[in-house]
Each structure stands twice: as C-alpha cells, then as structure tokens.
Chains A and B, each alone.
Chain A
Amino acid sequence: MKVRKLSLPFSSEMISSLIQGDKILLDGTLYTSRDLAHTRLVELMRAGQPSPIPLDEGALFYCGPSPVPPGKVCGAIGPTTSARMDRFTPFLLEHGLKVIIGKGDRSPEVCDAIRKHGAVYLVATGGISALLSRCVVSRETFLWPKLGAEAVYRYVVQDFPCYVAIV
C-alpha cells in the first residue's frame, strides 16, 4: 500500500497516476452532499442552471455531519453509503465532477462513468469520526442550511485519510 499526500484539485495526470488500494492523505476543500442535496442539485442543473457547487474544484463528500459542539471546529464527520447517490453520479460526472468520497461499492454504470470521465472514487473509513474531525481546518455552511445534516457544508481538510477505490 502506497501512501501519498495529495492536494485538491486533482489534475488529469494526477488522477491517472492513482492506483486502486493507494492510501491518500488529502488536503483541500470538500463539499458535503447526500440524498436530499443531490436531489436538489440535480434538479437545478437539469433545469439549466449552473451547479452552485464548484464540482471540479474540490471533492464531493457523501456526508451528513453531526452538530458542532461549543469550542470545536466541527462535529463528527464521515462517509455515508455511496450507492444511494448512484442515480445522480453519472450526470454530475458529465458536468465536471472529478473526485468523490464515500463508502461502499458503486453500480457498474457508475464505475464506467467514473473511468470514462477520468474521475476518481475514494473510500473513507466509516465510523472513525473523531479521527476524521481532527483533519478539519475549517467548516462553513455552504448551501441550503434548512436541510440540517443534509445541507451542503464546505470543509477545508488536511491529511484526510482515504483509499483509492475506483479510478
């Protein structure tokens, strides 16, 4: 297992140098999005609007964080099951999405689309929220605060551990 320290955004050359099973310590910006935010995002884009999330800049992180306790930078974070977002992923990849972080298998269709668009799917470990929250440098609510845990949050992370699953 090779461990690589990498910064977002990823260039195409960088993505094509990744090997399944590599461990990545990731620096950069993550935008959280899960079921409801995906539904909204894709509805907006299908209606012809540009994506309010800069899809090619950071990584899309399937995550519904827990509230921030007083005195902390963030609450608990971690990946949720990616397969639930499979229905939206090929469309987002067509619109520039390059780096996805979640957990669990993807459908064959999503695997193909990830490869076709030169993107990468990274798996983060579920249930290690205390460790992951240590990697968070800053956190802000980015979109749709009313959605609570399902809103889009913007995290800047450092040395965020994940593994290359599909590339």
Chain B
Amino acid sequence: MKTAQRLLSDALIQEKVIEAIGKIFCDREPHAQELLTKALNSETDELARDILDDIIDNAALAREERLPLCQDTGLLVVFARLGVDVRLEICLRDTLEQAAAIAWQKYYMRDSIAPDPLRGQLDECEDIRSESDARLPIVLHLEQVPGDGLSLDLALKGGGAENMSALRMFNPSAKVEEIVEFVVDTVVNAGGRPCPPVIVGVGIGGDFELSAILAKRALFTDSDERGTCYRELEKDILRRINERGRGVMGLAGRNTALEVRILTAPCHIASLPVAVNLDCHAHRHIRVEI
C-alpha cells in the first residue's frame, strides 16, 4: 500500500530556517546559558568570574539589540532527519544554502566562508564567490527516518572552537584511560583558543569520518538522547578537564568545560577511532521541526 506523501515546500523550510537563525545568531541555546550560570555560581576565581559575568550579560544585550553574540557568526552546520513520507520541491541542500544566504544578509552576519580553502594561492583556483550566487555554502548531514516530518538541528559553528578538534585512530586494545587522557589533553592543550568554557563532543567508534560526525553530533544532544551507558565516563572526563585548571578563556578558574557529551557507534574489530569536537560558550544551536 502506498502512503500519502506530505509536501514540504521550499518556501516553508526556508522561512523556518531563517527564523531559527534569527534566534541563535544573537542568543545561545538555553541549556548552555543555564550551565554558564551554574559555572559562575561555582567559580571562586575573581578574574574568571569577571569574564563569566560578561559572557552571561552579553547574551541578554545581544538578544535585546539583535546584535551577533560573536563577530564570528560561524559556518552553518545542519543535521537533517528527513521522513521517508516527505516530498520536497527541490534538494534540501539548495533550500538550506539559499536560506542561509538570506539570513546572513538579513541579520548582518559575517560571511566567513572562503570558497577556496587555499585562498587562491594556486593560479587555477579563485577564492571568490560570484556576486550573483544566492547561496552560502553550509555543511549538511542528511539521514532518512520513518514518518512525514523534517527535523533540522542547526548550529552556527565558530572557527576558534572547531580548530581545536582532534581525531585519533586508537588500537582496539586501548584502555578507556588512554581515551580519557586523549580527550582531556585535547581540551586542556587548546587553552583559550576555543573560548572556554567549552562543550566537549566526543565520538567513539564508527570509522574515520563517522567518529568525527558523532563528535559534532554529540554537541547537539541532551543527556536523554545519549542514554545512560557513558554518563559516568562523561562526568569523569569533565571533572578531570576542570581539575587541570586552564579555566575561563584559558586565563583563570576551574571552568574550562561545561559538559562532555559522548556518542558511540559500532566499529570494525581492528579499529577504535575517537574524535573530539569542541563548541565555545556561544553555543548557537537550535532544533527546527517541520
């Protein structure tokens, strides 16, 4: 039997996405704001408290003035779950990249995307996007799910935190302790560069690229979505990062990380990939359900 398909128009998806970007460019995800308030309450270092105050106050002012939380308005990263009973008018990437271009203009966001990653150093490759190109490149992860809905997890991902990511192919006989050390060292050695306090995404398993995708995806999850299995490990890693005392903006205090979030996937018996992806305190994440 053939089920009826639900048509989601390009215009509707664009409208929802532009509206969502309009929320997050000037405001962080509410749970992250709560975690920052908790961090401030637990922090005893004067300098760290001074910075945390500013970080918290900035969100209220940014929201009110409709100014970006941060001048790096980021790269739009989307995890999309598309119901099998949905019909789209055009490819989802086209819709999202057009919506991004409109949102960036509308909210006076910084265009931070270099079309050529080598910035035009090779004579054959130009680092310019044509003026007429009504699209802004994004990163899209698309998965199919049952049902007739479209769920979009959006993030504005800044470069400073992204640059401090790491991936290591461990020996499958590696002890959990080695993995913990790798994650802790990655965050601590990043110092102030990713704008701590950070949220730490960890992907364990899958293959080379899936571990990285899991690490990024973990940044979008709440604890219910991650299950209970790794909860103690998450807490342990968090405690050990903060004990090392790099602190707020890498300058002072004990709040280097706000949360550690682990996602896992089955992997080949010869492999044990582990990836770490950081998000700064700006944490501009939102879910759109259509």
- Cβ-defined partner of A131 (8 Å) among B47, B61, B249: B61
Q: Which residues of A contact B (CB under 8 A)?
A: 1, 21, 23, 36, 63-69, 72, 75-78, 80-81, 83, 103-105, 123, 125-131, 133-134, 148-149, 161, 163, 165
| Contact across chains for A75 and B192 when beta carbons are under 8 A apart | no
| Contact across chains for A149 and B112 when beta carbons are under 8 A apart | yes
Q: Which residues of B contact A36 (CB under 8 A)?
A: 119
| Contact across chains for B62 and A126 when beta carbons are under 8 A apart | no
- Cβ-defined partner of B62 (8 Å) among A129, A148, A149, A161: A129
Q: Which residues of B contact A (CB under 8 A)?
A: 26, 46-47, 50-51, 54-55, 57-58, 61-62, 65-73, 108-112, 119, 158-160, 163, 191-193, 195, 249-252, 280-282
Q: A76-B110, A105-B250, A123-B251 are in contact. Are A129 and B55 (CB under 8 A)?
A: no
| Contact across chains for B50 and A67 when beta carbons are under 8 A apart | no
| Contact across chains for B46 and A131 when beta carbons are under 8 A apart | no
Q: Which residues of A contact B163 (CB under 8 A)?
A: 81
Excluding A103-B160, A129-B68, 13 further A-B contacts by CB distance (< 8 Å) are A21-B252, A23-B47, A36-B119, A68-B108, A72-B67, A75-B68, A76-B71, A78-B71, A80-B72, A83-B193, A103-B192, A104-B192, A163-B251
Docked complex Cα distance between A134 and B191 (Å): 27
CB closest residue in chain B, given A67: B108
Q: Which residues of B contact A123 (CB under 8 A)?
A: 192, 249-251
Q: Which residues of A contact B160 (CB under 8 A)?
A: 80-81, 103-104, 126
| Contact across chains for A127 and B251 when beta carbons are under 8 A apart | no
Lowest 6 CB-CB distances: which A-B pairs, in order? A104-B193, A130-B62, A126-B195, A66-B110, A76-B71, A76-B68
Q: Which residues of A contact B26 (CB under 8 A)?
A: 130
Total A-B Cβ pairs within 8 A: 130
Docked complex Cα distance between A125 and B67 (Å): 16
**Main SS class of interface, A:** loop
| Contact across chains for B71 and A125 when beta carbons are under 8 A apart | no
CB closest residue in chain B, given A35: B119
A117, chain B: closest CB distance, angstroms: 22
A100, chain B: closest CB distance, angstroms: 14
Docked complex Cα distance between A75 and B281 (Å): 20
Q: Which residues of B contact A75 (CB under 8 A)?
A: 67-68, 71, 108, 110
| Contact across chains for B67 and A149 when beta carbons are under 8 A apart | no
A149, chain B: closest CB distance, angstroms: 5
CB closest residue in chain A, given B189: A105
CB closest residue in chain A, given B26: A130
| Contact across chains for A105 and B191 when beta carbons are under 8 A apart | yes
| Contact across chains for B69 and A125 when beta carbons are under 8 A apart | no
| Contact across chains for B193 and A103 when beta carbons are under 8 A apart | yes
B92, chain A: closest CB distance, angstroms: 27
A141, chain B: closest CB distance, angstroms: 15
Q: Can you list 20 A-B pairs, Cβ within 8 angstroms, ordered by A? A: A21-B251, A23-B47, A36-B119, A65-B71, A66-B73, A66-B110, A72-B67, A76-B69, A76-B73, A81-B193, A103-B160, A104-B160, A104-B193, A126-B249, A127-B70, A128-B58, A130-B65, A130-B68, A149-B71, A149-B110
